[in-house]
Amino acid sequence: MHDLWIFGYGSLMWRPGFEFAESSRARLDGYHRAFCISSTHHRGTAARPGLVLGLDRGGACEGVAYRIAGADAAAILAYLRQRELVNGVYREARVPVLLRDGTHRHVTALAYIVERCHPSYTGVLPLSVQAHQIRGARGVSGDNLDYLLATVRHLTSSGIRELSLERLVTMSAPHAQRLMRDGHTCVSAAPIRRATAHLPDRALRLRRGDRTRFGYRLRLNGGG
């Protein structure tokens, strides 16, 4: 198998979960990063959904491109499909990205793009709604707020400013934003989640029929 490039724009930037031969800051045109997916697995539950990032149409996205050696590509691709194709809200796509490593190389990378017709796709939500949904949710991968904080920390350390996400941190957890500005790197979301657990839920739940409808990608790709 040939070398495989992977484009990360959310948790794959700061928790890829696989070995790579090369990494570079990268830019993808035609898509932007957005909290547009209701999460009932990784960062929320059916009773208290969270929000996770997706690549949605329009604009541009700065992220990280990883080069995977051909010998490791099949195993890592299987891992990514198990991780990303939990309920079919993402679809795999090969997209052209520009490496921002000074070489100006264009490579074709694998990316996970949001499926707009999926019931978990929320579209464009007001930041106040996003903040409410994020700050009180927790899934099998941890607190939803930790996901937001880790993403913004990584973007900032990479020299990438995304003002909408920084504002979302301020609205979700002003104290956490102050700590991040002071250079703290281990800001915990757990106290904030406990303090806001009583707030009403704006749930977007995936019905059983839809789980069957959109689960076909994982089955086709050998993920279960």
Active site residues: 84
* Rounded-to-integer distance, Cα 86 and Cα 105, Å: 32
**Integer CA distances (angstroms), 5 to 73, 95, 134, 155, 166, in order:** 9, 10, 30, 20, 28
- How do beta strands 4-8 and 106-114 pair? parallel
Asked whether 33 and 55 are in contact (CB, 8 A), the reply is yes
Burial of 192 (0-12, 13-18, 19+ CB in 10 A): buried
**133 neighbors 106 (Cβ within 8 angstroms):** no
Report which of 141, 3, 151 is spatially closest to residue 77, judged by C-alpha positions: 3
Backbone angles phi, psi at 208, to 5 degrees: -60, -40
For 64, half-sphere exposure in the C-beta direction (CA atoms, 13 angstrom radius) is: 20
From the list 179, 158, 161, 160, the residue with the least C-alpha distance to 170 is 179
Instruction: List, in sequence order, every residue forming a beta bridge with 7; answer none if it has no partner.
Output: 65
